[in-house]
Amino acid sequence: MKKELQSRLSRYTAAAAAVVGAVTGANSQIVYTDVTPDETHDPANNAGVEFGLLDINNDAVLDFYVYSRDTTIAGTGTVKFTAVAPYGALGNAVAGDAPSGYNYAFALTSGTAISAATAWITPASSGALSMALTLDGAFPYASYWNNGVTDKYLGLKFFVGGNAHYGWARLDVTAAGDVFTIKDYAYNGTADAAINAGQMAGINTMELESLLQFVNQSDNSVKVVINGGLTEGTISLVSAAGQVVSTGKVDSDEYTVSLNGLSAGIYVISAQFAEGTMTKKVIVH
């Protein structure tokens, strides 16, 4: 398993850190990243195992990984599961509990507070927390993500420069237990400050989708559509090396980011508003 993950990491190139602007308000340091299109991971597509990588603050350092497996164990049966594991900095943890010694990741609902007061599990090296598990189609353990879960949140704690930050990732897990979808994630850029599951600068993710949209265009550009409620906007395109490729002020309800002429790689569109910062990763082939 570890060798397979290392192989994935060797091909993984994260975008540069999304810039948190000098904005005001209690939620000004919350940075949101939309995963577009949603990343669905099915182990049937990769020899029975699949990894989803989470770099919560987009700094090219992996913080967590979600993985699923579909395998047959002699004398046991067909096992399908999804799990989440901290990676990177020592102390990275996932919200959960451990009844009977088994680590289970919580499936948080929108609005649940994520902070130092949350129950955290930091498993030993290469350890993981179960999200969903089936054995021959049955549920032998009471994992919180069993039976098919939609739009629930992982609570995440990760360290940057020795400081703890709190965040979330929104996922679906199918009833079979081994196919998961990563939709978006966010974190509070202020060390030790709390965040609510689904929170993006005081706006939950469901509301956000109606306020700001990133639309891929046929002319190799991305149109950012602002549907009101967001003010003092600046939109920048940042390369994986941290270079600001382009930037501009938002003076209407649409802003177009051109990807023409760029070198192949992963970029971040950082949309900064007085209410907070949102980012989108884009791949240029």
Kindly report the backbone phi and psi dihedral angles of residue 21, in degrees, each rounded to the nearest multiple of 5, phi listed first.
-75, 170
Contacts of 269 (CB under 8 A, 6+ apart): 214, 222, 224, 235, 236, 237, 238, 257, 279, 280, 281, 282
Indicate the range of 7-11, 45-49, 135-139, 256-260 predicted with least confidence: 7-11
Measured CA distances, 235 to 150, 222, 225, 254, 285 (Å): 31, 11, 11, 11, 22
- Does residue 191 register a pLDDT over 80? yes
Reported as a single tens digit per residue, the pLDDT across 211-224 is 788 899 999 999 99
From the candidate CATH numbers 1.10.1060.10, 1.20.1250.20, 2.60.40.3080, 2.40.50.100, the one assigned to the domain spanning 207-284 = 2.60.40.3080
Give the pTM: 0.70
- Does residue 113 register a pLDDT over 80? yes
Cα separation, 57 vs 48, whole angstroms: 29
Model pLDDT, residue 203: 61
Model pLDDT, residue 95: 96
Cα separation, 188 vs 120, whole angstroms: 17
Indicate the range of 79-93, 170-184, 240-254 predicted with least confidence: 240-254
Q: What is the mean pLDDT of the chain?
A: 84
Pairing state between β 234-238 and 265-273? antiparallel
pLDDT, average across residues 125-134? 85
Domain boundaries, the chain: 2-12+38-200, 207-284
**What single-letter amino acid sits at 62?**
L
Model pLDDT, residue 58: 84
